Structure 1
Amino acid sequence: METADNCRRGAFEAVSDVEPPALREYIETTLEEASMVPGVLTIESAAATAPDGHSHLDATSQPMPPTDRDVDSSLEFAEDIVDTDGIRNRAAGVQLIYEGLRLTRSLAHEEPWNDHEDDDDARTDDAHRGDLEILAADILVARGFYLLARTNAAETAVKTVQAFGRDQSQRREQAPKTVDSSTVDANLERDILELAVRTGAGAVGETPTARLRSSVESLADGIEIPFPPAAVCLADLETPPSERSPEDHRATSATDP
């Protein structure tokens, strides 16, 4: 099974007890249609930063999009490093936080409660949908926090949500006169990429390598809103073995400081 499916399954499991059924079904539909970039990047980062780790982010020989087998190899390798369920749970946590914030951003921009002002029935339906969506957004973020609560990524997750709140407040109060709305909105995707990298590396007791950080920064510079499919988005992060920097894979000894 490809890594994206593992991430999606972990996200489904985290919300499997949500009630009422209509709310759970809406959340599951949202996750089914979502790009798994945050979750996949978390797993890739764990594999890439682990001792002697490898990942399609920095270990491919051809600049082609990763196949299902290529992408899943990172998770298989991670089984030898740390509890696989632990990595999946962290990946699901990052994914859920992103989906919740992305949905919140969409609601803030569209404001379904204000649609169809001349049609009472349509306005009622839109208001009901809006209420359902905002509940779903709250649950997604809360479950994401729960999965990351006792990890070294918890503080970064909190900062990500706080930054999102500040950005959206600034957008609402100042746009479009003094703020580039698209740039402000894209801050969420950039911050989630940072959260994914830190969460993945932290899962194996490491910090992101300089090479991994550089690759993700390049991705963030041209990020789409929302994320495209993982196989498309992460294909640009591949680095041929000949271009890997020595410090990314330097062997360490017990006498190293």
Structure 2
Amino acid sequence: MDEAVLVRDTARETVADIEPAELGDALTGLLSEASVAPGALTLLTARALDPGVDLPGIAERAVGVQLIYDGLRITRLLAHTEPWTADDAEAADIAADLDVLSAVVLVSRGFYLLARTETAGRAVAVVQQFGRDQTLRQRPDADVDLLDRNLEEAVFELAVATGATAVGGRVDDDLLGFGRGLADGVDTDELPPAESLFSAATVAEVARVAGVGEDRVPPVADDG
């Protein structure tokens, strides 16, 4: 999938200037191995609304969505596995500390890339919801699966909103609901590759939901 390749390459370029080198290498490794489904969905949505869109020209927006997801995903994993309690405490501490720093850098860089876009406010809301959900998850009666899946649902919503606004499209409940629905049944422990989640049919469905060709897609700002 061309969109996935573009997101991965642009993401690695985006963190290439981060120092020290050890942190930069860790970030590059994370982005080389992780699913880029959120970023790819951003570009697929833009292409669905505007088949002639210059995808490289909006790739940084897609990477903004991707980095925010990866940072929060790593944070969620650390919170659940508590690596600082491992038997090999010193080695675990170093690796976990590097992961924490990586997560902070990824979210911060993601915010930077979306800061001047129509979905900057929506990106902030995703992080705020994540914090609330992870706090609620600690309750004895919490539905942990539901609370964890909220991250993927919120990020996929952010992805379709970012893709739509990148080409001047409207963001409405139908489009957001479609994005949220794409997260149904995904493995939150390891998000599947974009190639297995999306296809040409996804692009066609986004176009249908967005009402392309039905005069339903006027340029409308969306600040979340």
TM interval, shorter chain, is 0.7 to 0.9
Instruction: Summarize deviations over 1:47-106 as a string: whole Å, max 9, x none.
Output: 1223xx4xxxxxxxxxxxxxxxxxxxxxxx312xxxx44410000100000000000000
Give identity over the alignment, percent. 42
Q: 2:222 maps to which residue?
A: none
> How far apart, in 2, do the equivalents of 1:185 and 1:236 lie?
28
Large movers: runs of 4+ above 6 Å = none
> How far apart, in 2, do the equivalents of 1:47 and 1:240 lie?
10
Deviates more, 1:178-187 or 1:97-106: 178-187
Q: 1:112/1:244 Cα in 2 relative to 1: closer, same or farther (>3 Å)?
A: closer
Unaligned runs of 5+ in 1: 54-76, 117-121
Q: 1:248 maps to which residue?
A: 212
Please say if residues 171 and 179 of structure 1, whose CA atoms lie closer than 8 Å, have aligned partners that are also in contact. yes
Structure number with the bigger relative contact order (C-alpha 8 A, sep ≥ 6) is 1
Instruction: Summarize deviations over 1:105-160 as a string: whole Å, max 9, x none.
Output: 001111111111xxxxx211100111100000000000000000011110000000
Please say if residues 45 and 208 of structure 1, whose CA atoms lie closer than 8 Å, have aligned partners that are also in contact. no
> How far apart, in 1, do the equivalents of 2:210 and 2:146 lie?
35
Q: 1:94/1:245 Cα in 2 relative to 1: closer, same or farther (>3 Å)?
A: closer
Q: 1:29 maps to which residue?
A: 29
Report the secondary structure of 1:151's partner residue.
coil
Deviation at 1:246, TM superposition (A): 9.8
Report the secondary structure of 2:161's partner residue.
helix
Q: 1:229 maps to which residue?
A: 193
Please say if residues 45 and 203 of structure 2, whose CA atoms lie closer than 8 Å, have aligned partners that are also in contact. no
Q: 1:238/1:171 Cα in 2 relative to 1: closer, same or farther (>3 Å)?
A: same
Query: What TM-score do you get using the length of structure 2 for normalisation?
Result: 0.87
Q: 1:180 aligned to 2:143? A: yes
Q: 2:110 maps to which residue?
A: 144
Pairing of 1:1-257 with structure 2 (within 5 A): 2-50=2-50, 53=51, 77-79=52-54, 84-116=55-87, 122-172=88-138, 174=139, 177-208=140-171, 212-213=175-176, 215-225=178-188, 226-235=190-199, 238=202, 244=208, 247-251=211-215
RMSD value over aligned CA atoms? Answer: 2.5
Instruction: Summarize deviations over 1:222-256 as a string: whole Å, max 9, x none.
Output: 23213201011114953769x9579432258x9xx
> Rg larger in 1 or in 2?
1
> How far apart, in 2, do the equivalents of 1:45 and 1:178 lie?
37
Unaligned runs of 5+ in 2: 219-224
Number of aligned pairs? 215
